[in-house]
């Protein structure tokens, strides 16, 4: 990922991450953007040059960007590497780019001597869950909630 691609990625990631947490009921709308920005900047203090992070961009045969993946090579709270984000450009979805980008991330992580790769997926993201499960990822923890509001 180039620095200019990172600037676009950062802005979009903060906005989408905030919205996902609001949809999931984790954060209120008035605090979501600030919390997402803090988490992102804490994890990527030097942007694309942050040590221990991989920011990979996937391109098609015409050199058009089709997606990206953000991977931490180590975790403080568990073994292995961790995918913070993987996304495919909406008009490029359903063409195998997600699977190819996931496999590229796995190869990069493995080439650096890391033996496992984990990720989080929001429960309502059925398409992503299907990709991960069909790629051999297994649930290691499940959080559940029941809304008791009328």
Measured at the CA of 74, the angle between CA 80 and CA 136, to 5 degrees, comes to: 30
Distance CA 90, CA 66 (A): 9
Q: Would you state the pLDDT for residue 42?
A: 95
Q: Which residues pair with 119 in a beta bridge?
A: 83
**pLDDT, position 77:** 81
Provide the pLDDT for residue 52: 95
Domain identity same for 26 and 88: no
Reading the block at residue 25, the tokens are 């009921």
Say yes or no: 26 and 58 in one domain: no
- 127 in the same domain as 77: yes
pTM higher than 0.75? yes
| Exposure string for 116-135, b = 16+ CB within 10 A, e = fewer | ebbbebeeeeeebeebbeee
**30, 76: one domain:** no
Domain residue limits at 12: 1-48
Please tell me the predicted confidence (pLDDT) of residue 54. Answer: 96
Both 94 and 42 in one domain: the answer is no
In this structure, the answer to whether residues 34 and 80 fall within a common structural domain is no
Residues 116 and 149 in one domain: yes
One domain, residues 21 and 68: no
Q: Are residues 78 and 132 in the same domain?
A: yes
**Is the Cβ–Cβ distance between 81 and 117 less than 8 Å?**
yes
Rounded average pLDDT per 10-residue block, the chain, 150 residues = 93 93 92 97 96 94 92 88 93 93 96 94 88 94 83
**Domains: count for the chain:** 2
Considering the domain architecture, whether residues 42 and 69 belong to the same structural domain is answered as no
Q: What is the pLDDT of residue 76?
A: 78
How confident is the model at residue 124, as a pLDDT?
A: 83
- Residue 71 and residue 143 in one domain: yes
Examine the domain organization and report whether 58 and 125 are in the same domain.
yes
Instruction: Measure the CA dihedral 122/31/75/5, to 10°.
Output: 80
């Amino acid at each position: 990922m180039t620095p200019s691609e990172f600037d676009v990625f950062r802005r979009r990631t903060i906005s989408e991450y905030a919205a996902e947490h609001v949809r999931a009921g984790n954060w209120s709308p008035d605090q979501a953007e600030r919390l997402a920005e803090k988490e992102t900047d804490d994890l990527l203090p030097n942007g694309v040059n942050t040590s221990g992070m991989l920011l990979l961009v996937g391109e098609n045969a015409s050199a058009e960007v089709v997606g990206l993946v953000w991977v931490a090579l180590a975790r403080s709270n568990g073994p292995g590497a961790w995918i913070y984000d993987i996304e495919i450009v909406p008009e490029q979805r359903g063409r195998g780019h997600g699977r190819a980008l996931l496999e590229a991330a796995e190869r990069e992580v493995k080439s650096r001597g890391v033996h496992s790769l984990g990720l989080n997926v929001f429960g309502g993201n059925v398409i992503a869950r299907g990709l991960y499960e069909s790629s051999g990822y297994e649930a290691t923890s499940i959080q559940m909630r029941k809304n008791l509001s009328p």
